[in-house]
Amino acid sequence: MKTAKILIVEDNIDIQNILNEILTQNNYKLTIAYSGTEALMHLEKTEFDMIILDLMLPGVNGESILDKIRKNSSVPVLIISAKDEVSLKSKLLKLGADDYITKPFDNDEVVARVITNLRRHNSYNDETKKLIYKDITLDKKSKKVNVGSKNLSLTNKEYQILELMLSNQNKVFSKANLFETIWNEEYVYDDNTINVHISKIRNKLKHINKNEEYIETIWGMGYRLL
């Protein structure tokens, strides 16, 4: 079973340390952002399994971050805040938060809610194994990709790139995003690896359906699905 990657967005050092301790003990891989701006930078580079989000942050506030997340991802978001108003909780849940816990919190309750939200999200993903875009169908369980009725033969890295893009159909992926997510290594600026892989995916798609375009280049930014 893979280790879940959790982004903690919290500017209070004491709370950071508590969350780091209790979640590391449960074998989660953590990334900590001290501000809303830093959180957005991490979200551009890494695909997380869960986000723990404070509301009152320097820079971009938690509510704005939640809105940006929900435009591109269904990753579970647990709000942690000192604010306890029912109206605020309702508003954030409607905006797309999955759960809400009030400070000061019980450590065991935080761990339990993390486990529950990850389980719920993973269960949903198990039920939605197929990703569909235009005439592409990607079966996450069998790792097979069809364009219409024809099988699309991909290398492992090509498959991972296409799956990532199909899972985030409105997102623009920079070359650094793709490289660091798929290869799990630091991106080298002049590395041509991503260009080559995207070109090969495009050519294979074009070979099956020459009348359709699937991946566009956003100059100076990266790639996204058309």
CATH superfamily of 5-127: Response regulator (3.40.50.2300)
How distant, in Å, are the alpha carbons of 21, 40, 65 from that of 60?
Answer: 26, 9, 7
Determine what percent of the chain is predicted with pLDDT higher than 90.
56
Rounded CA separation 135/133 (Å): 6
Kindly tell me if the per-residue pLDDT of 72 is higher than 90: no
Kindly tell me if the per-residue pLDDT of 225 is higher than 70: yes
Determine what percent of the chain is predicted with pLDDT higher than 70.
95
Rounded CA separation 174/182 (Å): 12
- pLDDT category at 54 given cuts 50, 70, 90 is very high
Global pTM? 0.60
What local confidence, expressed as pLDDT, does residue 123 receive?
A: 64
- pLDDT category at 207 given cuts 50, 70, 90 is very high
What local confidence, expressed as pLDDT, does residue 127 receive?
A: 54
Q: What is the pLDDT of residues 105-157, one digit of tens each?
A: 999 999 999 999 888 877 655 555 788 899 999 988 788 999 999 999 999 89
Q: Say if residues 43 and 31 touch (Cβ distance below 8 Å).
A: no
3 compared with 34, residue with greater pLDDT: 34
Q: Where are the domains of the chain?
A: 5-127, 130-225
226 compared with 7, residue with greater pLDDT: 7
For tokens 């893009």, what's the residue?
Answer: 165
Q: What is the pLDDT of residues 172-202, one digit of tens each?
A: 999 988 988 888 777 877 668 899 999 999 9
Beta bridge partners of 137: 132, 146
Kindly tell me if the per-residue pLDDT of 59 is higher than 90: no
What local confidence, expressed as pLDDT, does residue 190 receive?
A: 65
CATH topology for 130-225?
Arc Repressor Mutant, subunit A (1.10.10)
How distant, in Å, are the alpha carbons of 61, 145, 153, 182 from that of 163?
Answer: 31, 9, 13, 10
Rounded CA separation 195/103 (Å): 46
- Cβ-in-10-Å burial (0-12, 13-18, 19+) of 209 comes to middle
